[in-house]
Structure 1
Amino acid sequence: MTGLEFLAVALGMRHGLDPDHLAAVDGLARLRPSPWMGLLFALGHGAVVTLLAFPAALVLKGIPWEEYHLSAWLLLLVGGLTLYQLALAGRKGAQGRGPARLPVPNPLLLGALFGLGFETASQLSALALSAQMHPLRLGLFFTLGMALVDGVDGLLAARLQGLARDGGRARRASGLLGYVVAFTAMGLALAEFSAFDLEAFALPLGFSLFALLVGLRVYTLRPAAP
């Protein structure tokens, strides 16, 4: 790998730590526990970034996606569905998948739409590399970085939700994560609607969400007190 390719991977990992990514992936993994949710989200997102790196995508870049608040509406959808699942689980006294009819956004499609909706510094920095790298190479290594972070995040969230069916620590941990994900997603959506610049807070918030998930997963591994 060249220095530029390492940089593309690093930017992908940084982009994968954006709180909107983690909230979406964790929310999807709660609604439909699958170890592939984070990876599929990263692949969908990376495919759009790769497309945008081609000069022929100027028309697509010219559409004012941010004016439509596309990502904000998607975050509200994820947050709302997560709260609905938590309320349903509370009535049942168990943390399950919820009813089969519960709508779950396709992770590939959701990742692709997020690629259009949010223009973060890490994504824009990656696209700037297209002047020095072939778009396919750029997309491959940028997506690899995202997949490393979002894939692990989705795996941990799905495992935590799967363990929640047995009750105990895992159920409490899954419930806490659900509320954090729901209110984070809604807070990010409101920030976008109000045009509040979250760029300075994105990395600390993303690290905090990821650290919380890891901490909750470790918490479920500890033996219960007698």
Structure 2
Amino acid sequence: MQPRRPVVMLGHAHDALPLSGMALFFLLGLRHGIEPDHIAAIDGLTLRAHDHHEAHAPWTGSLFALGHGLAIAVIAVAISLLAASFELPAALVQVVEWLPIVLLTLLGLWNLRALLAPGAYRPSSVRMKLIPAALRDRTDLWSTVAIGLLFALVIDTVAHVSAWSVFATHQGGWWAGALAGLLFSGGMLIASTADSQLISRVLRSAGSEAAASRLRRGIGWFVVILSFGVVIQAVAAKLGA
């Protein structure tokens, strides 16, 4: 006897997706916004925007999250519409589960090496290295949005968005998948905005280049510790599973 496929429930998303589910997707967005690679990217962009005296520097995180959230929303809606027949291959699931661990390990090592090297330090993001140099070296408003959008197209982000989009759609139809994407993007927007606003406030009150340099290094050590901490926790969880 063939197992029954999950029923895709049509109708209004809020009829089938409970409040707890909505809160979960919002919290997942907040968590996504404080992932080490996001922090490194937004902090690096914010610092560069301040160096170029860009008026939008305090809102760098918001602009980045706008592009990032737009890409996630499009992916969420597309996957939600295909959710009735969509299933990730088992081999791809295994790769996706380990890819964030590999990326975070590289992120920690990358920034640790830069911190220990002589000279000025700036937070470095693994995904930012995949962005065309002509784009990531710009500091204008629209380039920040574009970088955020491209940042979302790395395979682990696409696969994770696909997974929770399918889950939400099976709970309440494609509207639920779209709502999940919106809530996720909203949480990420709040976290990313808070990050660039905090960095901007500290930079304005630093009062000297030496103080700003100490801030950059402080961010770097935070990224390194957070990266390795998440890696250790993730590997321990997998080995204990």
TM over 0.5: yes
Q: Give the Cα–Cα distance (whole angstroms) in 2 for the partners of residues 41 and 52 of structure 1.
A: 17
Counterpart residue number, 1:149 = 191
Using the TM superposition, give the Cα deviation of residue 29 of structure 1 relative to its aligned residue in structure 2, in angstroms. Answer: 0.9
Counterpart residue number, 2:164 = 126
Where do 5+ consecutive residues of structure 1 fail to align? Answer: 90-101, 192-196, 203-226
Q: Give the Cα–Cα distance (whole angstroms) in 2 for the partners of residues 126 and 132 of structure 1.
A: 11
| Identity %, equivalent residues | 28
Counterpart residue number, 1:36 = 59
1:173 aligns with 2:214: yes
The residue type paired with residue 205 of structure 2 is L
Counterpart residue number, 2:70 = 47
Question: When the two structures are superposed, what TM-score results if normalisation uses the length of structure 1?
Answer: 0.56
1:162-201 to structure 2, matched below 5 A, reads: 162-164=204-206, 166-167=207-208, 170-171=211-212, 173-177=214-218, 179-180=220-221, 184=224, 198=231, 200=233
Q: Give the Cα–Cα distance (whole angstroms) in 2 for the partners of residues 154 and 130 of structure 1.
A: 33
| Contact 1:126 1:142 survives alignment (8 Å) | no
Using the TM superposition, give the Cα deviation of residue 13 of structure 1 relative to its aligned residue in structure 2, in angstroms. Answer: 0.9
Q: Over residues 30-71 of structure 1, what are the superposed CA-to-partner deviations in whole Å (9 max), with x where a residue is unaligned? A: 11131111112122111111111123689xx99x9x99x9xx
Q: Cα gap change, 1:107/1:201 in structure 2, threshold over 3 Å: closer, same or farther?
A: farther
Q: Cα gap change, 1:52/1:116 in structure 2, threshold over 3 Å: closer, same or farther?
A: same
Counterpart residue number, 1:215 = none
Larger Rg: 2
Counterpart residue number, 2:120 = 87
Q: Give the Cα–Cα distance (whole angstroms) in 2 for the partners of residues 169 and 39 of structure 1.
A: 27
Determine helix, strand or coil for the equivalent of 1:15.
helix
> Of the candidates 99, 104, 114, which is equivalent to residue 138 of structure 2?
104
Determine helix, strand or coil for the equivalent of 2:152.
helix
Counterpart residue number, 1:25 = 42
| Contact 2:121 2:213 survives alignment (8 Å) | no
